[in-house]
Amino acid sequence: MKKTIITLILITFMISSVFSIGMNSKFASGNKYYDNGEYQKALEVYLKIAEEISNWKLFYNIGNSYFKSGDLVRAKINYLKAERLKPFDKSIEQNLRITDELLGDRAGLPEPDFITKTLMRFESFITINVLSVLLLGALIIFSFFTFKLIREGRSKGLIYGILISFIFLIFISVYHIHRVSNFHNNKHAVIIVPDSNLRSGPGRENTILFEISPGVKIRVIDVHRDWVQVTASNEIAGWIEKKNIERISIQ
């Protein structure tokens, strides 16, 4: 049993290592294009990598490539993706600030409160990948104690071991599911179409409240068919066509 578990861990590690080496090689190729000023070629490489993995440095470089190519909206979208994976990073914050100034978006959504910021900092250290490793570790420990109990018979130490490892396994599993669900169901988006109309209701027959420029970060409140209710501040909310926005989603 122990040998089987160790073998599976080693195989998983070897596969992930080979995959990582391949991705690093492609990433280095994209960086070379970027350093040579070939931003479109760099983008092609980075976007291809993004189909397989999600990494804050990757999205940061994609944002830089779009910025250098003059596509500020796409640059901001990818900086925001990088920020989701690595909040409070100074380089990301600086590039977002510069991009917002060029886009003319100085209002933005309100800053998160202290508790939200603290939770974000915690989650930036305990990433989903770290949780996945903890989950695997909890499963191995629980399996070990269970196997020992079956093989050696009941004992107080083994029963406590099974109980504690089972509680830890359940806790990590539930928290992992919660984090993955929140990760893929992000409520933030960016306006991508010029002169997008914010209306009083879901439909073109409703009153136009005002126009929103591309690049403005919004939060999605509700969805109705091809329309989404969004807010760009604490005071302003309205409906906009779904095709006019792009969510800050990460695969």
Specify the higher pLDDT residue, 19 or 55. 55
- pTM of structure: 0.74
Top CATH class, 2-104: mainly alpha
The angle, 0 to 180 degrees and rounded to 10, between the axes of the packed helices 90-103 and 72-85 is 150
Q: So what's the pLDDT on residue 21? A: 47
The model's pLDDT over 56-79, given as tens digits with 9 standing for 90+, comes to: 999 999 999 999 999 999 999 999
- The answer on pLDDT for 22 being more than 80 is no
pLDDT tens digits for range 124-160: 778 777 888 899 999 999 999 998 888 888 888 889 9
Which sequence spans correspond to the domains of the chain? 2-104, 126-184, 188-247
Domain 188-247 has CATH 2.30.30.40: yes
